[in-house]
Amino acid sequence: MRGEILRLYKNVHTWTGLATGMLLFVCFYAGALTVFEEPLAHWASPPTYGFASIEDADRLIEATLATRPDVAKDFTLHLAMANEPARLSWRKSRSDDVVWSATLGADGELRVESSNVSGVGAFVDTIHRTAGLPVDRETGTTVMGVVSAVYAVALVSGLILVLPSLSKDFLALRLTANLKRMWLDAHNLVGVASFPFHLVIALTAVVFGLHEPIYDALDHIVYDGKLSTIMRSTGPFGGVKRDEQKAPMKRVSELVAAVAVVSPEFSPTRLHYRDADTRGALVRVAGEDPRFLSRGGGFAVLRGVTAEIVNVDYLPEKQSGWTAAVSPFFALHFGSYGGGPVRWAYFFLGLAGAFLFYSGNLLWIESRRRTARRHGEQVVQTTASRLMAAASIGVCLGCVCALSFAIGSTKWLYGHVEDVDAWRRGIYHVVFFGALAFALLSGAARAGIALAYVAAIGALSLPVTSALALAAPGLGPWAGADPESAGVDIVAFGAALCFAALARATARRAALGPTDSVWSTRETTRGARTPLSSNGCAAAVGAGEGDDIHG
């Protein structure tokens, strides 16, 4: 009975993993990059020049509203940071993709321009939320909510599978000529060690992805169609009536000081104004408090005319009830706590998660070969195995290549095209689907080599772009001579070296490994079995004749 139960969980784990693995690879790889969303956006954004004091922020608001009075309805003031001056941002409408920004130049003159170029961080986050599916963000997020639910099932069934041998094999990583056993050990080790992280990511992603259907169901079943009204009345702006009578606003320093009285350790980063210069003006002061787990910080709502506190329920220090219970889950999903060490941990955990899905798919492919040998049959790779191998290579390496080229292209596109974000999305999908088509046409072995080299070139394009900007400013890209931009270039250069090493290792495995494997580029001799060379590489996952998955 125990064997039958384990086989059942093995089937559940295998097929749920296969059904979700490639999409989850994209989500985890892009998710690892979103941990450093701000440095990426900084690397991709043109330099800004202007005043940086909080007093200058008041002058910036006055100058902008005098020139663009329509902005008063809804805009955000981004307070000056170490490398950037204060700036205003707004959209002409909620559905408008173009973000406009205003800054004060060194000469004190107002500068207004479209700033969608800085959306590279939001672009990577969209890929993370939707797995890069060519659909609108809401649909893609809902699809990934369903995928995340299946992913949770794969996690639990996988843990049950390794429990019987956990004490013996948990820390076992057998580096032998049997590559399949080595990759199986690595797959199990990464899966068990990061199980709590993956479980939190899976469960929170289900809520994020399916919150709209959940709300719709609750509205119909529980709230009799009145949920939106209840949410508005209990939200941060609930109970505050609009009053469009003109009135002067409190200065930015006074609004910030009012929040400091309530929460001294809270550090404001931006102020979101609604109906500025009216008696009903509201200001949402958002920022961070490193002492608490929260969804990217928190905020307080104030009256813009009097600096009176309206709502502090969303300040990390003042949260209670449902808000206090839910906020840690957001923080645990996004890694928005603990500073640099936690961000780097999430970065590597995200990459490890991508490896988990990649290795799981490829282990299944090689297990077909062992099954045939067990029954004394000649090993013939089925069309399904070849397509799965090619699709895994195309989707996974295609995502890596596409993200690198899309991010790197931003500096070259700025100033030459009107809608940088549309071009960036187009470049991503052209590279991604081109890589997938190439993999399906040429096969997993050849595509694995070629696309790994392309991934190395894509990663290298970031530091090369920065170097060209320093050497020849007239080419177009701007130079980011600051630690954040340099950090992006260093990490990208390291990634390029890793992908180049992966390509070389994959090429050796394709040339020297067993000819009956989908990872071989050699012709198969009928009835012959070529032993695995000791020079084979880990890039061609599991080509040895070892145990079956979790076997």
Could you read off the pLDDT of 513-551 as tens digits, one per residue?
777 677 777 754 444 443 333 333 333 333 333 333 333
Which position has the higher pLDDT, 179 or 75? 75
Residue 402 token pair: 């596409």
For the whole model, what pTM was predicted?
Answer: 0.78
Residue 218, burial from CB neighbour count under 10 angstroms (0-12, 13-18, 19+): exposed
Q: What percent of the chain has pLDDT over 70?
A: 72
Residues facing 90 on adjacent strands = 100
Q: Which of 404, 425, 416 is nearest to 119 (CA)?
A: 425
184-188, 404-408, 469-473: which has the highest mean pLDDT?
404-408
Predicted pLDDT of residue 222: 78
Q: Supply the DSSP string of 265-330, one letter for each residue.
A: T-EEEEEEEESTTBTT-EEEEEEE-TTS--SS-EEEEEETTT--EEE-TTSTTT--HHHHHHHHHH
Instruction: Say yes or no to pLDDT of 181 above 70.
Output: no
By mean pLDDT, which of 130-144, 255-269, 376-390 is the weakest?
376-390
What integer is the mean pLDDT of 147-154? 84
Give the distance from CA 149 to its chain's centroid.
Answer: 18
pLDDT digits (tens, 9 = 90+) for 392-419: 899 999 999 999 999 999 888 877 787 7
State the pLDDT confidence band at 93, using cuts at 50, 70 and 90.
Answer: confident
8-state DSSP, 89: E
Residue-wise burial string across 502-537, b where 16 or more C-beta atoms lie within 10 A, e elsewhere: bbbbbbbbbebbbebbbbbbeebeeeeeeebeeebb
459 in Cβ contact with 493 (< 8 Å): yes
Contacts of 324 (CB under 8 A, 6+ apart): none
Predicted pLDDT of residue 550: 35
Residues facing 282 on adjacent strands = 274, 303
pLDDT digits (tens, 9 = 90+) for 348-392: 888 888 887 877 777 777 666 665 555 555 556 677 778 888 898
- Reduced to 3 states (helix: H, G, I; strand: E, B; else coil), residue 226 is coil
What integer is the mean pLDDT of 10-18? 68
2-11, 118-127, 510-519: which has the highest mean pLDDT?
118-127
Which position has the higher pLDDT, 189 or 126? 126
Predicted pLDDT of residue 394: 93
Instruction: Say yes or no to pLDDT of 288 above 70.
Output: yes
- The per-residue pLDDT of the chain, averaged, comes to 78
Predicted pLDDT of residue 441: 93
8-state DSSP, 23: H
pLDDT digits (tens, 9 = 90+) for 154-166: 777 777 766 666 5
Distance of alpha carbon 223 from alpha carbon 530, whole angstroms: 67
Q: What angle do CA 33, 39, 40 make, to 5 degrees?
A: 55
What region, left, alpha or beta, does residue 338 occupy, with left being phi > 0 and alpha being psi -120 to 50 degrees? Answer: left
State the pLDDT confidence band at 79, using cuts at 50, 70 and 90.
Answer: confident
Predicted pLDDT of residue 505: 87
State the pLDDT confidence band at 318, using cuts at 50, 70 and 90.
Answer: confident
Contacts of 544 (CB under 8 A, 6+ apart): 177, 178, 179, 180, 181, 182, 532
What integer is the mean pLDDT of 88-109? 78
What integer is the mean pLDDT of 255-283? 90
CA distances (Å), origin 237, targets 46, 234, 268, 327, 451: 35, 8, 19, 19, 51
Predicted pLDDT of residue 225: 77
State the pLDDT confidence band at 483, using cuts at 50, 70 and 90.
Answer: confident
Predicted pLDDT of residue 428: 96
